[in-house]
Amino acid sequence: MIEHIVFSLFVVGFLGGTHCVGMCGGIVSTLSFQAEQSQNRNQFIQHVLYSIGRISAYVVAGAIAGAIGEAGVFLMARKIAPFHYLLANLMLVALGLYLMGFTRFLMPFEHLGGLLWKKVSPMFRRLLPAVTIKQKLAVGFLWGWLPCGLVYSSLALAMTTGSTVGGMYAMLAFGLGTLPALLLVGVMSAQLKAFTQKRMVRIIAGSTVLLFGAYGCWFALGKILS
């Protein structure tokens, strides 16, 4: 099951770039402006540093989510495992609908994330402009806690791995999946944002993730009913 969730979250992250560009495009544009003003003109390297910090935050959060899930699994009987797997794939279905524009399914996760971001955002602003490598990594790490339904619902899915290490791998896969879109938007922000906001692009991305979840639900239901 863990392998399925890890691979699925990589796909979610990769296809979810259509959402990430819209959600994080403003932050990337701000960091790009900061890079232009700094002495180091290599914007691509700077965006890589920001992303290393961001993905590190996902891994830490994944470890916490996995540990919570691990505590829950420890209390579960083996007979409940198929229901656990079904829950994971229902989350994938919700993620697919979210990418397609049906955001109300995951709004509660964004509201919870917003409470955390209120605490984190002052530190984020104080670190700008980020000049040193440590500052860039720190900015990226704080960026990783931005209230995003895609991220926080992915954490809920990582929790269903029932393993601290599994949660880390799941969110690492998600973060690596988001990397291409968020690196590209730093270089060609306007063009990429316009492309990813097209309804057909969002529908294709969301329906692909939804199909992953639907297949997993079908498999889990087969185990439950057998």
Rounded mean pLDDT of 20-49?
61
In this predicted structure, the answer to whether residue 178 has a pLDDT above a threshold of 80 is: yes
Q: What is the pLDDT of residue 41?
A: 53
Both tokens assigned to 62: 């994944």
In this predicted structure, the answer to whether residue 120 has a pLDDT above a threshold of 80 is: no
pLDDT in tens, 58-110: 999 999 999 988 876 655 555 566 777 787 778 778 878 877 877 666 666 66
- For 169-199, letters b (16+ CB in 10 Å) and e give bbbbbbbbbbbebbbbbbeebeebbeebeee
In this predicted structure, the answer to whether residue 53 has a pLDDT above a threshold of 60 is: yes
Q: What is the pLDDT of residue 1?
A: 66
Rounded mean pLDDT of 200-214?
82
Confidence of residue 191 (pLDDT cuts 50, 70, 90): low
- Of the two residues 178 and 205, the one the predictor is more confident about is 178
Rounded mean pLDDT of 133-138?
91
Rounded mean pLDDT of 190-198?
59
- Of the two residues 22 and 182, the one the predictor is more confident about is 182
Confidence of residue 164 (pLDDT cuts 50, 70, 90): very high
What's the structural domain count of the chain?
1
What residues make up the domain containing 83?
2-225
Confidence of residue 171 (pLDDT cuts 50, 70, 90): very high
All residues at 6 or more sequence positions from 174 whose CB lies less than 8 Å from its CB, including other chains:
9, 10, 12, 13, 58, 62, 151, 154, 158
- Of the two residues 109 and 172, the one the predictor is more confident about is 172
Confidence of residue 184 (pLDDT cuts 50, 70, 90): confident
Confidence of residue 181 (pLDDT cuts 50, 70, 90): confident
Q: What is the pLDDT of residue 54?
A: 92
Q: What is the pTM of this model?
A: 0.78
Q: Above pLDDT 90, what percent of the chain?
A: 15
Rounded mean pLDDT of 10-23?
70
